Chain A
């Protein structure tokens, strides 16, 4: 997948450490629940971790996830590194959130401490403030 394929609508990149977090109501479960809120902004949500495709498929099926999970698996962490969201030496993605506007410009990003699930309030505030959304509405 190329991000440019999604040009024309905002994109939310959600980097997270690993599938199969033992906590229920974890980050991806929360965002899955909030998809209508993101869709209200026309935004596409993408989850990214270093887990492989088959791991993602099993995880998505088990949790009933309704948004894509991307595998930053080979070369490992290459996408996360481009966003400065790769954690060494542990070798997984940090909990980083990136909001990209419809023109493909990064408008907001946030890295949460690894043990702290960042929630969704920052993403929603960033989507509200996207200029592409503000200008036609006013």
Chain B
């Protein structure tokens, strides 16, 4: 159980080298307060590991619990089409209390998404990639959010920065 499916590829949203190093995958929900807590921890891990680490983000919106999570994820996908996925990702985690459609649209506009792209996103144009990521999480054994995988294996321990660094350093 609990192997990343499908494995990480160039199609994933990633920061850092895909080949040759450590790959930390986060399945996350932009409205989940625990993911909000993990956000600075992951940043700290990235700062410490530098180019030795590749961070991948996949969507796992728990929409029954978090009514804005799916739309927020769709805006991140829309931002990805103009190369601003990570800026949107960061904005979402830094503004978890303002994820209504108007706030999302306003943030998207500031990041350079045009009105047509924003309207398309509000109509659900980017639902498919979010749903695809969610389903991959289900098949990978994601058991809540945030859920981390290190080089393809689910990380079941705590996810504060020190714990994540220790787990990454244990990889043979």
Contact = CB atoms under 8 A, between A and B. Distances in A.
Interface in B65-108: 65-66
B140 interface: yes
Contacts of A122: 1, 141
A39 interface: no
Contacts of B9: none
B138 interface: yes
B145 A25 contact: yes
A118 B1 contact: yes
Interface in A22-64: 23-27, 29-30, 32-34, 37, 63-64
A68 interface: no
A121 interface: yes
B138 A37 contact: yes
A11 to B, nearest CB: 20
* Interface range, A side: 20 to 34
Interface residues of B, number: 23
A120 B60 CA distance: 13
A119 interface: yes
Contacts of B1: 110, 118-119, 121-122
A119 B156 CA distance: 11
Contact of A24 (B5, B141, B145): B145
Interface in B47-77: 60, 62-66
Interface in A113-132: 115-122, 124
The CB with the most chain A CB atoms within 10 A, among B29, B33, B139, B154, is that of: B139
Contact of A29 (B33, B139, B140, B144): B144
Interface string A90-121: 00000000000000000000100001111111
B143 interface: yes
A122 B145 CA distance: 18
Interface in B117-157: 138-145, 154, 156
Contacts of A116: 143, 156
A33 B140 CA distance: 15
A11 B113 CA distance: 46
A122 B144 CA distance: 15
A20 B60 CA distance: 21
Given A24-B62, A121-B2, A30 B34 contact: no
25 contacts: A24-B62, A24-B65, A25-B32, A25-B34, A25-B60, A25-B143, A25-B145, A26-B144, A27-B144, A29-B62, A32-B64, A33-B63, A33-B64, A110-B1, A115-B156, A116-B143, A118-B1, A118-B141, A118-B143, A119-B141, A119-B154, A120-B138, A120-B141, A121-B2, A124-B138
Interface of B: 1-2, 5, 29, 32-34, 60, 62-66, 138-145, 154, 156
